Amino acid sequence: MQITKDGLVTNIPSGMMNDQYGIAGLLTSLKQADMNPNLYALMIGFDLPNINMNLNSKEFNYPVPQEYLVFNSIRDKLTTIKLSAFCEDLLFFLFYCFAGENMQAAVGAEL
Protein backbone atom coordinates (compact mmCIF):
# COMPACT_ATOMS: atom_id res chain seq x y z
CA MET A 1 0.00 0.00 0.00
CA GLN A 2 1.40 3.38 -0.99
CA ILE A 3 0.13 6.88 -0.27
CA THR A 4 1.22 9.73 -2.51
CA LYS A 5 1.77 13.31 -1.35
CA ASP A 6 -1.65 14.36 -2.64
CA GLY A 7 -3.36 11.64 -0.54
CA LEU A 8 -3.95 9.09 -3.30
CA VAL A 9 -3.70 5.50 -2.07
CA THR A 10 -2.43 2.91 -4.55
CA ASN A 11 -1.30 -0.71 -4.50
CA ILE A 12 -3.95 -1.73 -1.96
CA PRO A 13 -4.27 -5.50 -1.39
CA SER A 14 -7.70 -6.82 -2.39
CA GLY A 15 -8.47 -8.14 1.10
CA MET A 16 -8.13 -4.66 2.57
CA MET A 17 -10.73 -3.21 0.23
CA ASN A 18 -13.45 -5.53 1.55
CA ASP A 19 -12.64 -4.87 5.21
CA GLN A 20 -14.48 -1.74 6.37
CA TYR A 21 -12.69 -1.83 9.72
CA GLY A 22 -9.15 -1.92 8.32
CA ILE A 23 -6.79 0.95 7.53
CA ALA A 24 -8.13 1.35 4.00
CA GLY A 25 -11.71 1.43 5.33
CA LEU A 26 -10.72 4.04 7.89
CA LEU A 27 -9.01 6.12 5.23
CA THR A 28 -12.11 5.94 3.02
CA SER A 29 -14.33 6.95 5.93
CA LEU A 30 -12.10 9.89 6.83
CA LYS A 31 -12.10 11.14 3.23
CA GLN A 32 -15.92 10.94 3.15
CA ALA A 33 -16.09 12.77 6.48
CA ASP A 34 -13.92 15.59 5.12
CA MET A 35 -16.34 16.07 2.22
CA ASN A 36 -19.54 15.99 4.29
CA PRO A 37 -19.70 17.89 7.63
CA ASN A 38 -22.63 15.74 8.83
CA LEU A 39 -20.55 12.61 8.38
CA TYR A 40 -17.63 14.26 10.14
CA ALA A 41 -19.68 14.70 13.30
CA LEU A 42 -20.87 11.11 13.08
CA MET A 43 -17.48 9.55 12.35
CA ILE A 44 -15.10 11.71 14.38
CA GLY A 45 -17.44 13.06 17.05
CA PHE A 46 -17.44 16.38 18.83
CA ASP A 47 -14.81 17.97 21.02
CA LEU A 48 -17.11 18.82 23.93
CA PRO A 49 -15.02 21.59 25.52
CA ASN A 50 -14.92 23.38 22.15
CA ILE A 51 -18.72 23.50 21.99
CA ASN A 52 -18.94 25.08 25.47
CA MET A 53 -19.89 21.93 27.38
CA ASN A 54 -18.83 22.29 31.00
CA LEU A 55 -17.73 18.80 31.98
CA ASN A 56 -16.86 19.75 35.56
CA SER A 57 -20.15 21.30 36.60
CA LYS A 58 -21.00 21.07 40.30
CA GLU A 59 -24.68 21.65 39.59
CA PHE A 60 -27.12 18.79 39.14
CA ASN A 61 -29.08 18.63 35.90
CA TYR A 62 -31.92 16.90 37.71
CA PRO A 63 -33.55 17.20 41.13
CA VAL A 64 -31.87 15.08 43.82
CA PRO A 65 -33.80 14.30 47.01
CA GLN A 66 -32.27 15.78 50.16
CA GLU A 67 -32.02 12.29 51.65
CA TYR A 68 -29.28 11.49 49.14
CA LEU A 69 -27.22 14.59 49.89
CA VAL A 70 -25.68 13.28 53.12
CA PHE A 71 -21.99 14.11 52.70
CA ASN A 72 -22.20 17.53 54.37
CA SER A 73 -23.96 16.08 57.41
CA ILE A 74 -21.58 13.11 57.91
CA ARG A 75 -18.31 14.69 56.80
CA ASP A 76 -17.05 15.24 60.37
CA LYS A 77 -18.10 11.74 61.47
CA LEU A 78 -16.06 9.83 58.88
CA THR A 79 -12.83 8.25 60.02
CA THR A 80 -9.64 9.32 58.32
CA ILE A 81 -8.13 6.94 55.82
CA LYS A 82 -4.92 5.34 57.07
CA LEU A 83 -2.88 5.25 53.88
CA SER A 84 0.05 3.64 55.67
CA ALA A 85 -2.02 0.45 56.00
CA PHE A 86 -2.35 0.07 52.22
CA CYS A 87 0.07 -1.82 50.00
CA GLU A 88 2.11 0.03 47.40
CA ASP A 89 0.04 -1.32 44.47
CA LEU A 90 -3.16 0.11 45.90
CA LEU A 91 -1.46 3.43 46.62
CA PHE A 92 -0.36 3.72 42.99
CA PHE A 93 -3.89 2.84 41.88
CA LEU A 94 -5.36 5.55 44.11
CA PHE A 95 -2.74 8.04 42.93
CA TYR A 96 -3.69 7.62 39.28
CA CYS A 97 -7.46 7.28 39.81
CA PHE A 98 -7.82 10.47 41.83
CA ALA A 99 -5.80 12.80 39.61
CA GLY A 100 -6.05 16.44 40.64
CA GLU A 101 -7.83 15.69 43.93
CA ASN A 102 -6.77 15.85 47.57
CA MET A 103 -6.46 12.05 47.63
CA GLN A 104 -3.71 12.20 45.01
CA ALA A 105 -1.68 14.61 47.11
CA ALA A 106 -2.12 12.50 50.25
CA VAL A 107 -1.15 9.29 48.45
CA GLY A 108 1.82 11.04 46.84
CA ALA A 109 3.07 12.08 50.27
CA GLU A 110 2.64 8.50 51.51
CA LEU A 111 4.55 7.04 48.56
* pTM passes above 0.75: no
- H/E element, 93: helix 88-97
More confident call, 25 vs 63? 63
Between CA 111 and CA 75 the distance in angstroms is 25
Report whether pLDDT(108) > 90: yes
Residues 22-32, mean pLDDT to the nearest whole number: 77
Query: What's the pLDDT at 47?
Result: 75
Three-state secondary-structure class, residue 9: strand
